[in-house]
Amino acid sequence: MTPVPHQAATPAPPYPAVLSARIAALCDEVGPRLGPAAAEQVRAVRRRLAEPLRVALAGRLKAGKSTLVNALIGRRVAPTEVGECTRVVTQFRYGTADRVDVVRRDGTRASLPLDESGMIPQRLGTPLAQVAFVDVTLTSDRLRDLTVVDTPGLASTSAAVSGAARRYILDEDLDADSAGAICGAEAILYVFTQAVRADDAAALAAFRSASARLASTPINSLGLLNKADKLVPGAADPWPVAAPLAAEQTGALRRVVSDVVPVVGLLAETTEAGRLTAADCEALRTLAGLPAAERTVLLASVDLFADRPAPVPRQQRRRLLELLDLYGVGFALAQFAARPGLATGDLVRLLYQASGFPRLRHTLDTAFRWRTDAIKAGGALSALERLAGHAGPPADRELLRDAIERVVRQPEYHRLRLLEAAQRVGTGAVELPAPMERELTRLALSADPAWILDLPGATPEQLLKAALEAATRWRVYALAGASPAQSRVALVAHRGFHLLSQRLRAR
């Protein structure tokens, strides 16, 4: 039994936050020269640009969202059992002290302590109808550059629960602080289990239709096939089944998510939150020392592992199931059987690899985090453009329009045009031939010329030639045979490849 191989989402290095920096400078320049109301709105845009990457999780009830939240945070703080706190939207962000605030719909806050196990209390002390969201600040270093938003289960039997997620995302009546805290996310993670069923697809569609502020598109959305270990019986290796199933689901959901990553959320939570102790590992080592036939019987079912006579007490074995489930236990026993002297830290690292979570981390770091600059900048620029349309005094509107025009004229701004074009194509609003759609997506999402042009190992001269050919190809397509919508997209791609060729020539 071997860990699932790590798969990189995008080999491209990150862009520096050039666009966000330019728009932040715009806010700093014009904000003090505007009237009080417009100035405050510009300051809100400026604050949002400085915030970390925001990731929202959505999915059906019992899909394992809270377990994945804990893995992302690196602490077991989000309850995984159904309770009041799992029926409201919860935001996790960095703070200098651990704190839980229940934010009411009237804008007031009620602070709660974490419970004795370090988790959010199951009871919030406020009627659910009055709760806007729960704001959790933690000292976890994982949250210094990542804010995680956990939404209630969608497609649930409770219309109120699904409605809570919609209100969180869309409600215009929240106070300014609350609205500022929840006004959007740069990355959306859809969590589902097994194959996507009709109600799963309906849940994804419901969240997407509710998330207008989140700009939910395949560009910044990722599917998580959670509980991959449940695809096979007992402690069998799930990855020969999970990997092709995830690839199949990626094709089926290509208009909703950019990729589907299979994960075992429980293993990820246990390893990332440091829940596996030295005593747990010694219990596993003891069980691994049993004859192979006896280990096979123990791993045949949860009941046999928990209750069959064995040299490890039943209570300890039940704890191992809570931490690892049968697949994780079987994986750990196989590692100890092969290497009896394996250190605890090494086992934890192998279990982490076996969870599939490294691929999710890599995707967030390389495919979403570096993309945040363009997504944030685009959202900020749209907000400023809306403000310029109704900013009160004509002088304020003119000042904003002039400043926006200066940003729009800069070559770096074309990255936003490319991202918008790729989003229109990715959602199916504009149809392109499949090879051209893939080429446009690479151009919009990467800074690496070799990856954009699909020429790994090419020389600079070969890359320059390919960029010029691509620019010509897109221009010909725009002028001959394309529909008006396709032509607009093609001209954006043409300019993108032209700018790429200029960068290559300058090198």
Q: How many percent of the chain have pLDDT more than 70?
A: 83
Amino acid 195: pLDDT: 65
CATH of domain 50-264: 3.40.50
Choose the weakest-confidence range: 148-157, 164-173, 453-462: 164-173
Q: How many percent of the chain have pLDDT more than 90?
A: 42
- What does pLDDT average to over the chain? 83
Over residues 383-410, mean pLDDT: 84
Side-chain half-sphere CA neighbours of 383 within 13 A: 26
- Which residues, listed in sequence order, are joined to residue 100 by a DSSP beta bridge? 112, 136
Over residues 387-410, mean pLDDT: 84
Residue pair 108/67 in contact (Cβ under 8 Å)? The answer is no
Over residues 341-353, mean pLDDT: 95
Over residues 482-507, mean pLDDT: 92
Question: Nearest to residue 48, comparing CAs of 161, 183, 164, 233?
Answer: 183
Over residues 144-164, mean pLDDT: 65
Reply yes or no on whether the pLDDT at 303 is more than 90: yes
pLDDT band at 349 (very low <50, low <70, confident <90, very high): very high
Reply yes or no on whether the pLDDT at 263 is more than 90: yes
Over residues 426-446, mean pLDDT: 86
pLDDT band at 173 (very low <50, low <70, confident <90, very high): very low
Over residues 380-392, mean pLDDT: 82
Name residue, tokens 């596996």: 276
pLDDT band at 183 (very low <50, low <70, confident <90, very high): very low
Q: Tell me the residue length of the chain.
A: 507
Amino acid 162: pLDDT: 47
Amino acid 199: pLDDT: 58
Write the pLDDT tens digit of every residue in 61-73: 788 999 999 999 9
Task: Copy the structure tokens of residue 173.
Answer: 């009546």
Amino acid 201: pLDDT: 60
Reply yes or no on whether the pLDDT at 474 is more than 90: yes
| Beta strand residue intervals within 60-182, DSSP E | 90-94, 99-104, 109-112, 131-138, 146-150
Which amino acid, residue 44? A
Residue pair 58/191 in contact (Cβ under 8 Å)? The answer is yes
Amino acid 82: pLDDT: 65
Pairing of strands 99-104, 131-138: antiparallel
- What are the residue ranges spanned by the domains of the chain? 50-264, 277-353, 412-506
Question: Nearest to residue 257, comparing CAs of 210, 185, 205?
Answer: 205
Strand order in the sheet with 146-150: 109-112, 99-104, 131-138, 90-94, 146-150, 53-59, 187-193, 221-226, 260-262
pLDDT band at 500 (very low <50, low <70, confident <90, very high): very high
pLDDT band at 8 (very low <50, low <70, confident <90, very high): very low
Which amino acid, residue 81? E
Name residue, tokens 């995830």: 246
Amino acid 13: pLDDT: 41
Over residues 274-299, mean pLDDT: 95
Write the pLDDT tens digit of every residue in 358-385: 999 888 876 676 667 777 787 788 888 8
Reduced to 3 states (helix: H, G, I; strand: E, B; else coil), residue 420 is helix
pLDDT band at 105 (very low <50, low <70, confident <90, very high): confident
